[in-house]
Structure 1
């Protein structure tokens, strides 16, 4: 079942959403993601995706010891993840115009705006085609940039890194650069530009040089999984889909792992770290720190699931984390 209008109405009354993993091999890829996750991000206008990447020793796979604490701020509602796409051609149901062209109609609804496109495509070769539009808006970039600057200052960072591919996608990412530069000047912060391919290399070679990193939607989805591997894998990654003035959602970054369902092998730490982020977002930093410290404890004492080199089952790791917290409160 996908997210219904009644679900949305009920969730709007909540302070925050704590979301588990989804995924079912019986369902075609994209249906659950689009009908639940992407819909929730759009309906609640959760325009920031916060992905912390922390050097959890001894899980960092790099050859040298390195200490890093990167916060990726991924723009979460625009770019190439808007569902603005369509296939057309003789294999599809599109009707050809008399002149041999196709009318390709696209539309998207967002909390901030609706947008309809009608593209008159006139191919010179009789073939099937596909189009996907990456759309950004000045308002969308401005609020993302503003959040990034405030987040950097709150962390004590003196710079923000903006990742893009502005040398190729010049309009979208050129506009982003201009607005981010204006905001950096306004807040008195340095702004570092990185192409996404260079950033992927730099994350392996010198991750400790990054703090607050702003990245557009598509590239953010890729780089944050690389970041997750740097800190021990998808089982170590929490994620926050944030609307600073509305309902935010927190989740582990991994999927449902149906191949190990019921075996007690699933790593619960990502879900715990997502809960930490939720608590901090809702004004409970001390309680959030307790969860962080509990994760640090189970890692230090190898009380983990097999993916992290331990021998415990999922519930046993959860109990070890809970016991640590209870002992700290005594």
Structure 2
């Protein structure tokens, strides 16, 4: 059965890296990955033209008819309020209840690991970040902006349902892999985050084979630098997961390589959103400098979501090989531009 995939190239370097990911997808289609691509012209250009962000009826059609969405990046300095980016990205995450942001972090070559005496084998973990609650719900208010008495208040929201389902997804993955799990919070300073520890204590009895640890986020951030090899699965709130995932991406070669999946693990077949995490990078947009590997590896997560695990594994092997050959962009040790790096990847993919 043909799976329909919506593609939103978006802003900045998004169209450049997504173009290379789609070239890779064309290769996979020749090998039996049966997908139909539906490209949606959403982003800052459309918003500036007619005010369109992501119309509700279109978002509903995508939800009904597509198995997955591949997103490049959203964010443009010409839209300082980020209205279109909010509606596109957060609209999909929240309206489709994509409660788990899954961030695999795996160093693909020793030279990319910036830590002394550590190799690529020491950086191999997955972060499960809660994706619909926490500090990103937009709850709060401001008083007296621009005055000496200015006050800004932000609230965070953690529900038992939200915490439990994210932790359960992390537990399930850890149990499947035979990996240890660490849950992180800051409940010693923010008592409301104690819900994470309470739910963790309840769930761990259901997963006796999983080695479980709980660490305050500042301690975990430090230990990830000192001993990244001690960590395999990390479960975190929206804010802490966001921060730690970018920190860990730096340990594996940088954001240009980092893929992500926004999924609803409790319901197999639920639509998923897949995107590189480097952002729109407007400072290098249009210059042919963007690293396409984050987008290509996100495509790998997407095809795995569609049931093509072998092709996803081929993508990872090809990424390792182009980095080993230095047939990649300058940010990861090569000399190629975006298009040439995409072609180098395809050449290797055909051989692995």
Shorter-chain TM-score tier:
0.7 to 0.9
Instruction: Determine the structure 2 residue equivalent to 1:95.
Output: none
Paired with 1:247 and 1:85, the residues of 2 have a C-alpha distance of 30
Q: Distance in 1 between matches of 2:250 and 2:145?
A: 43
Determine which of 40, 43, 55 is the counterpart of 2:95: 43
2:130 aligns with one of 64, 75, 86 = 75
Equivalent pair of 1:164/1:219 in contact (CA under 8 Å): yes
| C-alpha deviation, 1:29, in angstroms | 4.6
Q: Is residue 328–residue 344 contact of structure 2 (8 Å, CA) maintained in 1?
A: no
Mapping for residues 112-261 of structure 1, pairs under 5 Å:
127-157=149-179, 159-171=180-192, 173-188=193-208, 189-244=210-265, 245=267, 246-261=270-285
State the alpha-carbon separation in 1 of the partners of residues 135 and 315 from structure 2.
Answer: 35
CA displacement at 1:55 relative to structure 2: 2.0
Q: TM-score, normalised by structure 1?
A: 0.85
**Residues 113-162 of structure 1, C-alpha deviation per residue, up to 9 Å, x if partnerless?**
xxxxxxxxxxxxx93322211011111111111111101012221x3100
Cα deviation code 1:184-219 (max 9, x no counterpart): 111112321111111111111000000110011011
Structure 2 equivalent of residue 62 of structure 1: 115
Contact 1:298 1:304 survives alignment (8 Å): yes
SS state of the match for residue 89, structure 2?
helix
Please give the root-mean-square deviation of Cα atoms over the aligned residues, in Å. 1.6
Q: CA deviation at 1:6?
A: 2.2
Q: Deviations over 1:58-99 (max 9, x none)?
A: 21111113322110000001110001122134879xxxxxxx
Q: Which protein is richer in helix relative to its size?
A: 2
CA contact (8 A) 2:274 2:301 kept: yes
2:339 maps to 1:319: no
8 Å Cα contact 2:163-2:199 kept in structure 1: yes
Instruction: Check 1:44–1:266 CA distance in 2 against 1; reply closer, same or farther (3 A cut).
Output: same
Structure 1 residue 321: Cα displacement: 1.1
**Higher Cα Rg, which structure:** 1
Corresponding position of 1:18:
70
Contact 1:181 1:191 in 2 (8 A): no
Distance 1:6 1:239 in 2: 26
For the 8 Å contact 1:61–1:230, the answer to whether it is kept is yes
Query: C-alpha deviations, 1:195-247, integer Å up to 9, x for none?
Result: 11111111110000001100110111111111111111110100111112221
How much has 1:303 moved relative to structure 2?
0.2
Partner of 1:290: 314
Structure 2 distance, partners of 1:140, 1:65, is: 35
Paired residues in the alignment total 293
Q: In structure 1, what is the Cα distance between the partners aligned to 2:117 and 2:91? A: 41
Are residues 1:303 and 2:351 paired?
no
Q: Provide the C-alpha distance between the structure 2 equivalents of 1:276 and 1:90, rounded to a whole number of angstroms.
A: 45
Q: Note if contact 2:145-2:151 (Cα within 8 Å) is conserved in structure 1.
A: no
Please name the residue that 2:43 is paired with.
none
Change (3 A) 1:249 1:133: same
